[in-house]
Amino acid sequence: QLQASGGGLVQAGGSLRLSCAASGRPFQTRAFTSYPVAWVRQAPGKQRELVAAASWSGQTTEYLDSVKGRFTISRDNAKRMVYLQMNNLKPEDTAVYSCAADDSGRTIVVTALREYDFFGRGTLVTVSS
């Protein structure tokens, strides 16, 4: 399973760091490096969107245009952890954030939301103006 944490209430311009822990099946049966990962978010009344994605090593990343330069995705494969550092937060960043993993075994960064197979429980981020 995937479990996100680190959300909360923050003022505009503030920062938060989200963490996602991968545990249990299938992540215990295969190296975590074989899973492309991503952070996704869903705001009230809106569709879920992919915010940031990382390749197996974390060295290749992709971001939603609106968060480029503000958000940074990273991963620690030994710990089976994925992180999202969010700086200069804006009210429009308010959403439930969750992490996702692609079960294909590819090493590339995956930017299509439909390609992800596992979605974890989210954490709420609220940015006040």
Q: Tell me the pLDDT tens digit for each residue of 105-124.
A: 888 999 999 999 999 999 99
Q: Residue 41: pLDDT band by 50, 70, 90 thresholds?
A: very high
What is the per-residue pLDDT for 104? 87
Indicate the average pLDDT of the chain. 94
Phi, psi of 117 (to 5 degrees): -105, -30
Q: Does 34 have pLDDT greater than 90?
A: no
Percentage of the residues of the chain whose pLDDT score is greater than 70? 100
C-alpha to C-alpha distance for 89 and 10, rounded to whole angstroms? 8
Residue scoring higher pLDDT (31 or 116): 116
Identify residue 29 by its one-letter amino acid code.
T
Of 44, 35, 43, 25, which Cα lies nearest the Cα of 100? Answer: 35
